[in-house]
Structure 1
């Protein structure tokens, strides 16, 4: 819980972001949590997207929820992707904590497409669920060489 609290604090404001990462404050100042074209939401869980263990300068993956109990994954990179790299978010759903029931990414209908060179964010479609037995996990990746070499990865806790 302490680790997740530190991440939420880091994602909540420019001052915290500047203190906890090597990314410039301007990159964090323009970052809005849990964006989506059909309305923003609240961060339920978050994790850094790391190039190496302990890296806090690359970006973050957020598991988001709106007021209609719809969940989605949101990836925010602190700097635009360079040429030759792509990124995305995924959201996976589980029943009773361990039975995998589905996966969606930024290219799924309702998402805004992969993160392309020069871009910094993407979101998945929103997945509705009011059942307390359904949990979600979001993951963020970026890679080079056409999805063959993962450059950085992060995953939220599985929760609701």
Structure 2
């Protein structure tokens, strides 16, 4: 809160003095639907829930024009023994016809130790018959056990 107040005061002072402020790289104010092109529109969101029923992050179905992608943001960085993945499934009249993950070409790679987020590449959603589901899973890198998961669900679910 204090950090935001200081930023507002600095911006107001700079405006009064006619100074230009540099663009900020601070992403704390807008962490939704990030990809290589910036921040996009959230279509749907869902909690990523650990096996002990604690919410550990959020998975988002995102849109950039007619393109859709999946995005996951965890509350805490992965530990040395964890990794996570987001996936985007495209459905055509209820049948899955395409799947990409953060590891697919155009994504930024799975969530590795010390990291909190990843995004999938874009899939075209021009055809109105397409629907999309974004999902996320967190795993133990030692055992392969599923530690947490969540998905945005099909329409009507």
User: What's the TM-score, normalizing by structure 2?
Assistant: 0.76
**In the aligned structure 1, how far is the partner of 2:28 from the partner of 2:141?**
31
Q: State the number of aligned residues.
A: 129
The structure whose residues are more often helix, as a share, is 1
The structure whose residues are more often strand, as a share, is 2
**In the aligned structure 2, how far is the partner of 1:46 from the partner of 1:147?**
28
Gaps of 5+ in 1: 1-27
1:129 deviation in Å? 1.6
**In the aligned structure 1, how far is the partner of 2:132 from the partner of 2:118?**
17
Q: How does 1:75-154 map to 2 (within 5 A)?
A: 75-96=72-93, 98-145=94-141, 148-154=144-150
1:69 deviation in Å? 1.0
1:63-97 deviations in Å (ceiling 9; x for gaps): 0001x21000000001111111100100000001x
User: Aligned-residue CA RMSD in angstroms?
Assistant: 1.9
Gaps of 5+ in 2: 1-26
Runs of 4+ in 1 over 4 A off after TM superposition: 28-31
Are 2:60 and 1:62 equivalent residues in the alignment?
A: yes
Quote the residue 2:22 is aligned against: none
**In the aligned structure 1, how far is the partner of 2:80 from the partner of 2:29?**
22
Work out which of the two has the higher radius of gyration on C-alpha atoms and give 1 or 2.
2
